[in-house]
Amino acid sequence: MTENEFINYWNKEYPESFPINHELKWTYADRWFRIHSLPHSKRYADTDDDYKIIFDRQNQLIDDLIGEESEVAISFGLYKDDIANENYKELTNFGEFQKVLTIDLQKERPEEYENGMLLDIFVKIGNWKNGNRNKILKAIADDEIRAMFFSHSKKCVIAPYDGGVDVIVESTKERDRLKAKYKDWLSDREDGM
């Protein structure tokens, strides 16, 4: 995916948000839902069994959303000061990521960000295969990195975080169908968090 292809895709599908994980749930609340990666809303894995549950749940969800062997893009953003963050070097084990966009956050949202806050967005295109992204999923679950997966053909964004996965799908109807299917993995809170 070239820089222009990514920018065109993002602007068409998610025009009201930057490709920043935590923004999407607020901007597209009518298409958003969240699963918890561990039972009883447990946030972090303590055992190998916990990691197995995280991988099983997240791989099943992504399989359902994207489909085995379907094209998937992995994206992450680094703030200017994060470039030296060693944790992101792990992502290079999956191939080279292309820097597709730099956002001057202070210019775009001066009330939220300080001067000089730049966010570089990196993307890599590949195919989804159950289990082949577990190393990334583990690093996200351990709050070492942040990354998200998106599918152009399925029109969805999958944003794992330490504790669960935020999902943005194409419609409220599809969101409601998936929430019913994964009801046992949802939060008990009224706001879905």
Q: Is residue 67 in some structural domain?
A: yes
Span 114-142, average pLDDT = 88
CB-based contacts of 154, cutoff 8 Å, min separation 6 = 65, 66, 67, 70, 170
Span 83-107, average pLDDT = 69
Q: Is residue 190 in some structural domain?
A: no
161 backbone dihedrals φ, ψ, rounded to 5°? -145, 180
Q: Which carries the bigger pLDDT value, residue 92 or residue 32?
A: 32
Q: pLDDT confidence of 47, banded at 50, 70, 90?
A: very high
Span 16-24, average pLDDT = 87
Give first-to-last CA distance, the chain, whole Å. 32
Would you state the pLDDT for residue 99? 83
Q: Is residue 191 in some structural domain?
A: no
Q: Is residue 192 in some structural domain?
A: no
Would you state the pLDDT for residue 156? 94
79, pLDDT greater than 90: no
Q: pTM for this structure? A: 0.88
Name the domain count of the chain.
1
Domain range holding 48?
3-185
Q: Average pLDDT of the chain?
A: 86
102 backbone dihedrals φ, ψ, rounded to 5°? -120, 125
Would you state the pLDDT for residue 160? 95
Task: Determine contact, residues 5/125, Cβ cutoff 8 Å.
Answer: no
Q: pLDDT confidence of 33, banded at 50, 70, 90?
A: very high
Weakest-pLDDT range from 51-65, 88-102, 165-179: 88-102
